[in-house]
């Protein structure tokens, strides 16, 4: 039986993370035995470090899973923590993916806004402010999160469907052989299903400092070095507030993340 957490507590937890954009799904174990129980937390923070966050239906646009049997909705209720619990089949892989509804944010200082823009490789936004002669104080933003993670049964062979999009507005798509630690993995960044050129894509390795980062080429692709994970890969796209999805804010951004562990 699932226990529903008190709404007041959930709202308090939610608001405490309001200033953190980055969200990812993090399994308790990426590679498991056949028919084992699998769990994943929603985490919010920075640099692959963050606090576990309960599933909140009113903040979720879509929560799905995809494996060899197809794509389906995840059965979750508000307050679930871990947000995802299920079982794996005897062999194979499974994507679990979550998209959020809109979040609003007001930057309480120019420095925080500038640091955010520079840190995510969105420097053209600062150039725009300079060209327009506008203040960078009190900037507002609406943002959306698109997160997915990969589970695998130990010894499973990589399936072709793993490299197919799940349909997120901003999504990181792996290229074949990415599940092997001996391979330098390639990822493609799609915006509304089309390759996004010039975006900064960063990779964090759990337990290690620093990042490996590259700009996407004309095909929306980046290639990382061969390493052992687990990995968090992310990318951000930002657009003007004139877009309807900005809901009247100065800017609207989308945040894509992907977590997985390669096979040794």
Using one digit for the tens of pLDDT, what is the confidence trace for 136-157? 999 999 999 999 999 999 989 9
pLDDT tens-digit readout, 158-193: 999 999 999 999 999 999 999 999 999 999 999 999
**145 lies in a domain?**
yes
**128 lies in a domain?**
yes
Mean pLDDT value of segment 31-56: 95
Q: How many residues does the chain have?
A: 264
Query: Shortest CA distance to 120 belongs to which of 253, 26, 19, 24?
Result: 253
Q: What is the mean pLDDT of the chain?
A: 91
- Mapped onto helix, strand or coil, the DSSP state of residue 117 is helix
**pLDDT above 80 for 18:** no
**227 lies in a domain?**
yes
pLDDT of residue 114: 96
| Strand partners of residue 221 | 188
**2 lies in a domain?**
no
Give 30's DSSP letter: S
**pLDDT above 70 for 19:** no
**pTM of the entire structure?**
0.90
Which own/partner contact pairs does 1-8 have at CB distance under 8 Å and 24+ positions apart? 2/77, 2/79, 2/80, 3/79, 4/77, 4/78, 4/79, 5/54, 5/78, 5/79, 5/81, 7/78
Mean pLDDT value of segment 110-122: 94
Into how many domains does the chain fold? 1
Is the peptide bond preceding residue 230 cis, with omega within 30 degrees of 0? yes
Report d(CA 150, CA 148) in Å as an integer: 7
**% of the chain beyond a pLDDT of 90:** 87
Full domain range(s) for residue 175: 7-260
**194 lies in a domain?**
yes
pLDDT tens-digit readout, 63-115: 999 999 999 999 999 999 999 999 998 899 999 999 999 999 999 999 999 99
pLDDT-derived band at 16, boundaries 50, 70, 90: very low
**92 lies in a domain?**
yes
**1 lies in a domain?**
no
Give 108's DSSP letter: S
pLDDT of residue 21: 77
Q: What angle do CA 64, 67, 72 make, to 5 degrees?
A: 35
pLDDT of residue 104: 94
C-alpha count within 13 angstroms, C-beta hemisphere, residue 74: 30
Sign of CA dihedral 234, 240, 245, 246: positive
Query: Which residues are CB-neighbours of 186 under 8 A, at least 6 positions away?
Result: 174, 175, 178, 221, 222, 223, 224
């Amino acid at each position: 039986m699932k226990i529903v957490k008190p709404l007041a507590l959930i709202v308090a937890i939610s608001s405490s993370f309001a200033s953190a954009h980055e969200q990812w799904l993090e399994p308790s174990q990426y590679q498991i035995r056949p028919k084992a129980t699998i769990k994943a937390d929603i985490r919010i923070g920075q640099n692959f470090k963050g606090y576990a966050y309960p599933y909140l239906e009113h903040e979720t646009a879509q929560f799905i899973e995809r494996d060899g049997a197809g794509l389906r909705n995840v059965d979750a209720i508000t307050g679930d923590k871990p947000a995802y619990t299920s079982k794996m089949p005897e062999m194979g892989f499974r994507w679990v993916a979550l998209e959020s509804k809109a979040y609003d944010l007001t930057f309480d200082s120019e420095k925080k806004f500038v640091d955010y823009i520079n840190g995510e490789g969105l420097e053209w936004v600062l150039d725009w402010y300079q060209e327009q002669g506008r203040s960078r104080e009190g900037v507002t933003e609406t943002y959306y999160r698109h997160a997915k993670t990969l589970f695998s049964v130990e010894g499973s062979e990589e399936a072709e469907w793993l490299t197919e999009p799940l349909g997120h507005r901003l999504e990181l798509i792996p290229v074949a052989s990415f599940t092997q630690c001996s391979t330098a993995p390639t990822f493609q960044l799609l915006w509304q299903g089309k390759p996004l050129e010039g975006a900064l894509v960063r990779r964090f390795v759990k337990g290690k400092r620093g990042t490996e980062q590259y700009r996407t080429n004309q095909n929306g692709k980046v290639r990382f070095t061969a390493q052992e994970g687990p990995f968090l890969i992310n990318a951000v796209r930002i657009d003007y507030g004139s877009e309807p999805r900005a809901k009247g804010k100065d800017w609207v951004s989308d945040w894509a993340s992907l977590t997985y562990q390669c096979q040794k």
